Structure 1
Amino acid sequence: MSLLDELLTRIERQGPLSLADYMALCLTHPRYGYYMSGDPFGAPRAEGGDFVTAPEISQMFGELIGLWCADTWQRLGSPDPCLLVELGPGRGSLMADALRAARALPGFSEALQVHLVEVSPALRRRQKEALTGHRVTWIDSLAELPDGPLLLIANEFFDALPVRQFEQTAGGWAERVVVADGEGGLAMALAPPSPLNAALIPPGLRGAAGGSLVELCPQGLNLAAYLGERLAQQGGAALIVDYGPAASTAGATLQALRRHRRADVLADPGSADLTAHVDFESLAEAAAAKGAAAFGPVEQGVFLEALGLDARAAALAATAPAKAREIEAARHRLAAPGQMGSLFKALALAAPALGTPAGFPDAGAGRA
């Protein structure tokens, strides 16, 4: 049996699937889920994989995140112990680079209790290899964390959380669902409109024109609310780096990626990464409603350059002249507007007393 067979059986017995349920099963089904058995990371024409993330492009990314955490720890009053948590750590590259950079600040490494939130057995194995020599605790969810001040990193995590899609119709907002196409495959359809759907749509988008699509990520909003409450009560900060617009917008962005190319979202479920743009505005509002301050989002290029990306690239090139072009290419890809620099954004959530974190030069006093 394949995941497609299981989905068709479920639809036959229970009716249409929400897009969020479909996405969750494709990514994290215990047997067939995309993230559960293989390693999806890799550069085109080099390591295979389906996509490449910033930590795999250059060590500079993880190092600067580590320095951001160290600076934030100082601003928090250097709590000991302090939880350092990463959501969806990939191969462990970001955390390995961050911990190496963290040694630059006396006392910081010693105060840290590192926790990685990872559900994939295959990726846990890769992370253990990358973090050999470090004391790390692996957990399945944030609910397993002990109490205490928190520094949390989420790089390209929220974009993989399941989304729902709603379409504005003559009868109101109707949810898009996954159904059997009658030919052994899957298709999209619209469930009957419901007045309850309108309450889910961001206020600024409820009056969108007919035919407009709006994506929502309930799991992401719940997570942002949880972080907002925890940070307000126990102290700390969370750094979310992902891709999407700064403000809530209409439009469908869900896509499938296979071998660095777009694929059909409904074809061969479980074989491709499914990802959607992050609604940073809604995440910030969800966290602020629970008492946290929100800063940004700012473009990734602006954020990294404020943290010293150019200086770090120059230092690396000076110590390894033969790799100077490679280092410059990585710096350009991470920060240039036409590359990851503008599409990707950084959003910080923090305890209200923290003040403006490093890397957010235009964030002002934040929202709380």
Structure 2
Amino acid sequence: MSLRDRLSALIAAGGPISVAQYMTACLHDPDFGYYAMRPAIGETGDFITAPMVSQMFGELIGVWAAASWELMGRPAELRLIELGPGDGTLMGDILKTVRHAEGFLEAADVWLVETSPPLRALQADGLGERVRWAASLAEVPGGAPTILIANELLDCLPARQFVRTAIGWSEQVVGLDADGELAFGLTSTPAGALLPDAQPGQVFEQSAPQAALGAQLGARIAADGGAALLIDYGRAEPGFGDTLQALRRHEKVDPLDRPGEADLTVHADFPAVMAAARAEGVDAAILTQADFLARMGIGARAEALVRASPGRTGRIGRQLTRLIAADEMGELFKVCAIHSPGWTPPAFED
């Protein structure tokens, strides 16, 4: 049996499933899910993340973490947490950087929140005994200020999709066509769904898990102090659009083709995440990735790397372009800070 067979049987027995349910199965089914069985990250895999583009990215996140700790008053106990740490490259670069901040590593209790067994194995190989693991943020002990990083995590949290038709809203679902193949279709919208005004044909995505994470981060930071940094591709303002995509070997493929064998994502809904966090009594702000990295000094860091390795000038220039150019990651990717009131994290000052 394949995941396609399992989903087809589920739909045949109980009717169409939401896009969110489909995403969850494709990514996390314990037998066939992408992250459970075959995550493929990097140049030879299905997708690449900013920490793999250049060491500069992780180094500047490390600088941000150390500077935030300083602004928080150098607490003697700190939870340094990464959600969805991939192959461990980002945390590795962060730890190499923060060792230059006297006292930081002595204060930091380092946690990785990861549910994928294959990725945990990669993280252990790269990071060794310096870190501990949890299956959820709730498992990480509270009681101390938090500095939390999540790079390209929100886009993996499932969303439902609603389509405005000529007669009202409908929900886009995954069902079976006349030939028994997986297919998108529309069904009536559940009573009580809160949906905005829209024109016919517009698609509105709603991710309860993304908003729930914003609330969870807000509650934790309100209780213990600290800051979270969320980096992802997505929108800074509420909007419409069908952003569901599947990536296999760096190419977009049909999301319904070979379920469980490609990475499925939707755009991060930063407005919903920030609103949920603020409702818990904390502050939130957002920048483009280009602005954030520029304010953190990526230009100067690139120049230093070129001076140290002139033979890598072209490569470093290409890496810099990939991270900050408007037609690469610079504008589509956003950086959101959620933080306790009374101070402003680095790069987010007016």
1:284 aligns with 274
Q: Deviations over 1:302-357 (max 9, x none)?
A: 1011111111111111112211211121111111112111111100000112x221
Q: Tell me which of 338, 346, 350 is aligned to 2:339.
A: 350
Q: Deviations over 1:245-275 (max 9, x none)?
A: 2101011111111111110011110011111
CA contact (8 A) 1:84 1:114 kept: yes
CA contact (8 A) 1:173 1:195 kept: no
2:263 aligns with 273
CA-atom RMSD in angstroms: 1.2
Matched, 1:233 2:229: no
1:295 aligns with 285
Matched, 1:36 2:36: yes
Q: Distance in 1 between matches of 2:318 and 2:126?
A: 24
Q: Deviations over 1:44-102 (max 9, x none)?
A: xxxx2111100001111011001101111111111122011111101100000000000
CA contact (8 A) 2:164 2:203 kept: yes
CA contact (8 A) 2:83 2:113 kept: yes
1:4 aligns with 4
CA contact (8 A) 2:210 2:269 kept: no
Q: Tell me which of 209, 225, 242 is aligned to 2:199.
A: 209
Q: Distance in 2 between matches of 1:154 and 1:260?
A: 21
Q: Distance in 1 between matches of 2:182 and 2:39?
A: 26
1:120 aligns with 116
CA contact (8 A) 2:149 2:230 kept: yes
2:135 aligns with 140
TM-score, with length taken from structure 2: 0.97
Name stretches of at least 5 consecutive residues in structure 1 with no aligned partner.
363-368
| Partner SS state of residue 331, structure 2 | helix
Superposed displacement of residue 39, structure 1? 3.5
Q: Distance in 1 between matches of 2:33 and 2:284?
A: 33
Q: Distance in 2 between matches of 1:240 and 1:324?
A: 30
CA contact (8 A) 1:348 1:357 kept: yes
Superposed displacement of residue 170, structure 1? 4.0
CA contact (8 A) 2:218 2:278 kept: yes
Superposed displacement of residue 244, structure 1? 1.4
1:90 aligns with 86
Matched, 1:192 2:188: yes
Q: Distance in 2 between matches of 1:318 and 1:102?
A: 22
Amino acid at match of 2:108: L
Q: Tell me which of 242, 246, 255 is aligned to 2:245.
A: 255
Q: Distance in 1 between matches of 2:240 and 2:29?
A: 29
TM-score, with length taken from structure 1: 0.92
1:21 aligns with 21
Size of the aligned set, in residue pairs, is: 349
Superposed displacement of residue 195, structure 1? 3.8
Matched, 1:242 2:238: no
CA contact (8 A) 2:227 2:339 kept: yes
